[in-house]
Each structure stands twice: as C-alpha cells, then as structure tokens.
C-alpha cells in the first residue's frame, strides 16, 4: 500500500502581468487502489496541480509538501519522480520525432526496472497492451506522437501506463478529444492498469462522461486554486446537473 500526500500546496507562475498564484493551499491524499476525480471550471488550477506534482519547470512551489510513501517528491528531479512511481498522462502529449514507439517504451521500461526487459517477454507485453487498446501492430514502429490523432495519442499514453506499472497515475483530461468508442477503450485500459497493479489514480476532468467507465471513489471540486468540496460519486452527478456556478461565485 502506497500513499501520495499533498499538504498545503501553493504554486505560482510567471505571466506577462507578473507573478500569479495559481494553487492556494491544496490538500489531498491518495492511496493505492483509489480513484480520485478532480472536477472544476477552466482556469481553476487543475492542470497546474498535475504538472506541479510531475515537476514541470514552469511552476514554482511556494509552500506545502508532496510526499510519496514519506519521501519528498518536490526534492526529486523529474526522472526520479517517475522512478519513484509517478506517471503523468498529459492533455496534449508532445511529439518525439525520430524515436519509435517501440524503442521509446522499451527505453522507459529499462530505466524504471533497472535492466532491459527480456525481448520475447517484452514483445508479448507490448502486444497484449496494444490488443487491449484496439491498436494496429504497425503502431509500434511509428514515431512517438508524430502525426497521431487525438485518440491515438491518448491510447499511447494508456499503453505506457499499462506497461510501465507506476504506483500513481495523474490523468490530465484524458477524455478530451475522444469519441465515444475511444473513450470507452481508453477508460477500460485505465481500469485494467488499476486492477492489475493496485494503481492509485488522480483523474482530472470537466465532464462526468469518463466517470461512467472509471468509477471514482472520491470526487473533489476544484475552484480558485484549491479543493472547495469533496464527496463520493454522487457529487459528480450534482455537478453534471448544476454546473460550477455556486463555486465560482463563492
């Protein structure tokens, strides 16, 4: 059982108008096997939370702590965070020209496991993950995210999740740009990874449609840089019916 604990997290970002505080004291605890959904209006700081945990240099931590099983995440480099068991699925994955999906995944697995996976076993792992995500085998030879559709990018992110087996996954609007079929397939991949590895999930989304497939244990409403309400799956239904107006005006 692992625990990702966020306490009093405050984050600023430099803008043309000067330094702006985005996160204003976020408290959140996620344990292995739990699914936490963060929902909130645009500009509330949801993605800032994701990228700050992952170590994006754009964001400056001005207060609070993030620990993974007691270890100080904020003192780790980006690759150390990944090796400790953190995984970020980005809303807009970047292209990596000249690097095939196959080489990218095996290099990442080697870094995390400390040795290269045995080739025959690795081929089987990759094949299984691709079949589960309804991906053509030729996909493995394409360059990472180069010319990928939105759905292909998201499937590739979830394929990484299944193969790299982190302790915690932060999914930043994984449902954006997906049609109904792709949403179901991607969601099923997240659920498989969660069940296979007792994965803890922090799922950032605007909408409840993905929560029909990835059932949250906890729902947190994010507004003005902090958690303003939390509850169970029923809270997501309330948000679907009423929107975020009461939190924005508060």
Q: What is the pLDDT of residues 52-72, one digit of tens each?
A: 999 999 999 999 999 999 999
pLDDT at 87: 94
pLDDT at 246: 86
pLDDT of 142 > 60? The answer is yes
Structure-model confidence comparison of residues 150 and 118, the more confident one: 118
Average pLDDT over residues 119-135: 90
Joined together, the tokens standing for residue 166 give 């982190």
Task: Measure the CA–CA gap between 165 and 142, rounded to whole angstroms.
Answer: 22
Nearest to 206 by CA among 192, 223, 184, 230: 223
Task: Measure the CA–CA gap between 41 and 45, rounded to whole angstroms.
Answer: 9
Task: Measure the CA–CA gap between 69 and 186, rounded to whole angstroms.
Answer: 28
User: Which stretches of 149-192 are assigned E, i.e. beta strand?
Assistant: 168-172
Joined together, the tokens standing for residue 16 give 């043309």
- Global pTM reads 0.91
Structure-model confidence comparison of residues 180 and 250, the more confident one: 180
Q: Per-residue DSSP letters for 72-101?
A: EGGGS-HHHHHHHTEEEE-SSPPPEEEEEH
Confidence category of residue 6, pLDDT binned at 50, 70, 90: very high
DSSP 219: E
Confidence category of residue 10, pLDDT binned at 50, 70, 90: very high
Yes or no: say if 231 and 219 are a contact pair by the CB < 8 Å rule. Answer: yes
Average pLDDT over residues 197-225: 93
Confidence category of residue 249, pLDDT binned at 50, 70, 90: low
């Amino acid at each position: 059982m692992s625990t990702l604990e966020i306490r009093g997290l405050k984050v600023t970002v430099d803008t043309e108008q000067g330094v702006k505080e985005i996160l204003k004291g976020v408290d959140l605890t996620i344990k292995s096997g739990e699914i936490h959904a963060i929902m909130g209006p645009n500009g509330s700081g949801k993605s800032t939370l994701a990228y700050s945990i992952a170590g994006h240099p754009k964001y400056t931590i001005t207060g609070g702590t993030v620990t993974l099983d007691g270890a100080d995440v904020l003192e780790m480099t980006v690759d150390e965070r990944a090796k400790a068991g953190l995984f970020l699925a980005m809303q807009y994955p970047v292209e990596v020209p000249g690097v095939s999906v196959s080489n990218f995944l095996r290099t990442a697995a080697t870094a995390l496991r400390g040795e290269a996976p045995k080739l025959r076993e690795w081929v089987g792992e990759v094949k299984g993950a691709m079949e589960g995500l309804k991906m053509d085998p030729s996909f493995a030879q394409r360059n990472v995210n180069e010319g990928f559709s939105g759905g292909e990018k998201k499937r590739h992110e979830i394929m990484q999740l299944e193969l790299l087996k982190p302790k915690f996954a932060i999914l930043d609007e994984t449902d954006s740009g997906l049609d109904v079929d792709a949403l179901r397939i991607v969601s099923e991949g997240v659920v498989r990874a969660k069940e296979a590895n007792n994965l803890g999930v922090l799922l950032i989304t605007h909408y409840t449609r993905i929560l029909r497939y990835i059932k949250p244990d906890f729902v947190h409403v994010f507004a003005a840089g902090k958690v303003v309400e939390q509850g169970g799956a029923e809270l997501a239904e309330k948000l679907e019916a009423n929107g975020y107006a009461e939190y924005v005006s508060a």
